């Protein structure tokens, strides 16, 4: 049987017939959105790779979204598997489980504690099941989000337990590529506030000792988990396993697909000489993204509320015709002709409710502009919405739990965001200037790069320095200074040249072909 029937890559002979690909995703919107565009394109390539199925691991709340990908309709090419984190831990928010420390801005971001928590989480709830699945299904390829720190360890464990070669594994990266000694430097962390704000010499020494303590805890947990919990011998630890610092390096030895334009990657020149790192560009497929918007729970009712709100904020009469917000012809100049320009606010869905004053400050700041702009504020969830729903009485401000973000960004004049890479990539794709208010994770990196270095917007810190007056001043600056919009539009032109989801699939096919060619030698 032919493994590949691909004009671009030739063909290779193989004996196996039922071949599957595993995809280990992060069950969070910002990570899953680019993943879904990639996965949808991958489904079309399964016949070329002589594979019958994509086994997609995520959280159960995303099941319908994943199974309803456009290229899966009526074909049953995806098998969904729940990590079962909610059943075992009480939440499916894997990022919160890994970052179970104080993640508020201005506090120390404890990266080694992330690694340690990831190993503990894997050993307690994931490894046993994942390696059993690998043994049962024999995947020819494992694709995993780089934000997961455990996949390489799971593959090591599988190889050791069943005395076999590790399956080919490839990472995909939904934010900037990071690597020890390249990006970020210690000075980068300091200027972004990830080591704390306004540190005295005494505080810096204290930070150094905290990170050192976390690092040694990580080393101890790494070796203790592999030796005691997972029954690796000392010889296994020395000869078979990657060293803990290699795990921290985060670069997959096989291939790393980075869903970022090379033009915006920090210190690109240091990554370009690495053949296993491919900057494929943003993974933004409008068909998939629109499908995501339409498949979210109760999205229809939210779209209807948005349409009613926009209809009440017309600058010109539609002549009795109902405002059809989701209609493609309601974008661009036609939309601007009848509707007020939009200021859109979204602070994500993971860390959006950690700052008790954030939405109050943003609502009060946006009120100043509500006479001339339609303000849409997405709280990210129902709980946060209920908390702030009574804060305003202005008919020109719409507070809403969820939104079809891509559809709104197509029509948005200014985007106030938490600076998640997914949201920033979408804003960049549609040429929308931004105000970044980074909350945690990779967001300070993204905010610093796109605002301070690329000039696409303004960066604010969501700490005690954030005030209503500062929000008003920042909005005014961007609305009155055309340089921000011009920079966003120039980045949009670059973004339009990339189809990250398609290029990533091409590299994925090549990686599998090259790997299996070597196996036959």
224-233: pLDDT as tens digits: 877 777 777 7
> Is 225 in a helix, a strand, or coil?
helix
Identify the DSSP state of 161: H
Q: Is the pLDDT of residue 331 over 60?
A: no
Map out the domains of the chain with their CATH numbers. Answer: 20-147 (no CATH), 151-254 (no CATH), 342-497 (3.40.50.2000)
Among 116-130, 339-353, 398-412, 497-511, whose mean pLDDT is lowest?
339-353
C-alpha 460: how far from chain center: 21
pLDDT band with cut points at 50, 70 and 90 for residue 317 = low
CB proximity list for 341: less than 8 A, separation 6 or greater: 372, 373, 374, 413
> Is 157 in a helix, a strand, or coil?
helix
What pLDDT, on a 0 to 100 scale, did the predictor assign at position 480? 94
Q: Is the pLDDT of residue 240 over 60?
A: no
What mean pLDDT, rounded, does the chain reach? Answer: 82
Q: Is the pLDDT of residue 42 over 70?
A: yes
What pLDDT, on a 0 to 100 scale, did the predictor assign at position 488? 94
What pLDDT, on a 0 to 100 scale, did the predictor assign at position 208? 78
Beta carbons of 164 and 194 less than 8 angstroms apart: no
> Is 330 in a helix, a strand, or coil?
helix
What pLDDT, on a 0 to 100 scale, did the predictor assign at position 149? 77
Q: Where are the extended beta strands (E) located within 50-138?
A: 53-58, 78-82
What pLDDT, on a 0 to 100 scale, did the predictor assign at position 6? 43
What pLDDT, on a 0 to 100 scale, did the predictor assign at position 36? 95
- The owner of tokens 């009060």 is 364
Q: Is the pLDDT of residue 4 over 50?
A: no
For the record, the structure tokens of 295 come out as 């498949």
Mean pLDDT score, 255-266:
92
Distance between CA atoms of residues 118 and 94, nearest Å: 9
Specify the higher pLDDT residue, 13 or 288.
Answer: 288
> 78 φ, ψ to 5°?
-110, 130
pLDDT band with cut points at 50, 70 and 90 for residue 470 = very high
Distance between CA atoms of residues 517 and 508, nearest Å: 14
Beta carbons of 416 and 402 less than 8 angstroms apart: no
For the record, the structure tokens of 16 come out as 């196996």
Among 116-120, 341-345, 431-435, 474-478, whose mean pLDDT is lowest?
116-120
Mean pLDDT score, 459-480:
91
- Per-position b or e across 113-141, b if 16+ CB within 10 A of its CB: bbbbbbbbbbbebbbeebbebbeebebbb
Closest CA to 189 of 424, 453, 442: 442
Distance between CA atoms of residues 403 and 385, nearest Å: 12
Beta carbons of 48 and 509 less than 8 angstroms apart: yes
What pLDDT, on a 0 to 100 scale, did the predictor assign at position 487? 95
Beta carbons of 404 and 385 less than 8 angstroms apart: no
Beta carbons of 29 and 422 less than 8 angstroms apart: yes
Mean pLDDT score, 192-201:
69
- What is the 3-state composition of the chain as percent helix, strand, coil, each rounded to the nearest 5? 50, 15, 40
Mean pLDDT score, 3-14:
41
Q: Is the pLDDT of residue 455 over 70?
A: yes
If residue 375 lies in a helix (H) or strand (E), which one and from where to where? Answer: strand 374-378
CB proximity list for 97: less than 8 A, separation 6 or greater: 85, 89, 91, 117, 121
pLDDT band with cut points at 50, 70 and 90 for residue 300 = confident
Mean pLDDT score, 269-283:
88
For the record, the structure tokens of 508 come out as 């994925």
Closest CA to 227 of 209, 212, 241: 241
Q: Is the pLDDT of residue 2 over 70?
A: no
pLDDT band with cut points at 50, 70 and 90 for residue 294 = low
CA 408, 413, 419, 425 dihedral sign is positive
The pTM assigned to this predicted structure is 0.84
Range picked from 33-47, 148-162, 203-217, 234-248 for highest mean pLDDT = 33-47
CA 272, 276, 279, 280 dihedral sign is positive
C-alpha 198: how far from chain center: 29
Q: Is the pLDDT of residue 13 over 50?
A: no
Mean pLDDT score, 38-53:
95
Distance between CA atoms of residues 69 and 472, nearest Å: 40
How far separated are the first and last CA of the chain, in Å rounded? 18
């Amino acid at each position: 049987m032919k493994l590949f029937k691909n004009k671009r890559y030739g063909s290779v002979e193989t004996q196996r017939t039922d071949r599957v690909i595993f995809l280990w995703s992060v069950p969070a919107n910002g990570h899953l959105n680019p993943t879904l565009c990639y996965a949808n394109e991958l489904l079309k390539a399964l016949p070329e790779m002589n594979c019958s199925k994509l086994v997609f691991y995520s959280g159960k709340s995303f099941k319908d979204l994943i199974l309803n990908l456009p290229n899966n309709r009526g074909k049953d090419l995806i098998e969904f598997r729940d990590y079962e984190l909610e059943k075992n831990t009480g939440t499916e928010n894997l990022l919160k489980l890994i970052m179970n420390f104080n993640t508020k801005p201005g506090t120390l971001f404890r990266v080694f504690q992330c690694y340690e928590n990831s190993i503990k989480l894997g050993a307690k709830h994931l490894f046993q099941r994942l390696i059993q699945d690998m043994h049962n299904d024999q995947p020819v390829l494992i694709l995993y989000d780089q934000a997961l720190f455990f996949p390489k360890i799971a593959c090591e464990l599988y190889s050791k337990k069943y005395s076999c070669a590790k399956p080919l594994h490839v990472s995909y990266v939904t934010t900037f590529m990071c690597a020890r000694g390249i990006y970020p430097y210690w000075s980068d962390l300091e200027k972004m506030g990830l080591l704390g704000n306004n540190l005295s010499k005494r505080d810096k020494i204290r930070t150094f000792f905290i990170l050192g303590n976390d690092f040694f805890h990580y080393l101890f947990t790494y070796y203790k988990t592999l030796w005691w919990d997972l029954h690796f011998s000392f010889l296994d630890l020395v000869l078979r396993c990657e060293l803990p610092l290699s795990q921290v390096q985060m670069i997959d030895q096989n291939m790393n697909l980075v869903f970022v334009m090379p033009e915006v990657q920090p210190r690109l020149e240091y990554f370009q000489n690495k053949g296993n790192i491919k900057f494929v560009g943003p993974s933004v497929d409008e068909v998939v993204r629109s499908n995501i918007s339409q498949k979210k729970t109760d999205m229809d009712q939210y779209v209807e509320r948005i349409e009613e709100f926009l209809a009440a904020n017309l600058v010109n009469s539609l002549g009795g015709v109902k405002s059809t917000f989701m209609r493609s012809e309601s974008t661009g100049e036609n939309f601007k002709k009848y509707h007020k320009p939009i200021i859109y606010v979204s602070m994500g869905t993971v860390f959006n409710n950690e700052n008790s004053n954030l939405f109050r400050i943003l609502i009060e700041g946006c009120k100043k502009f509500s006479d001339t702009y339609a303000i849409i504020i997405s709280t990210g969830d129902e709980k946060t919405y209920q908390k702030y729903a009574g804060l305003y009485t202005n008919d020109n401000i719409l507070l809403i739990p969820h939104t079809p973000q891509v559809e709104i960004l197509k029509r948005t004049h200014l985007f106030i965001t938490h600076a998640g890479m997914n949201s920033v990539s979408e804003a960049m794709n549609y040429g929308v200037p931004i105000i970044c208010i980074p909350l945690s994770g990779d967001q300070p990196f993204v905010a610093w790069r796109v605002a301070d270095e690329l000039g696409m917007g303004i960066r604010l810190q969501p700490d005690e320095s954030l005030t209503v007056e500062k929000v008003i001043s920042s909005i005014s600056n961007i609305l009155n200074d055309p340089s921000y919009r011009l920079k966003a539009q120039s980045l949009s032109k670059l973004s339009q040249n990339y189809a990250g989801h398609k290029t990533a699939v091409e590299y994925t096919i090549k990686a599998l072909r090259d790997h299996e060619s070597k196996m036959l030698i």
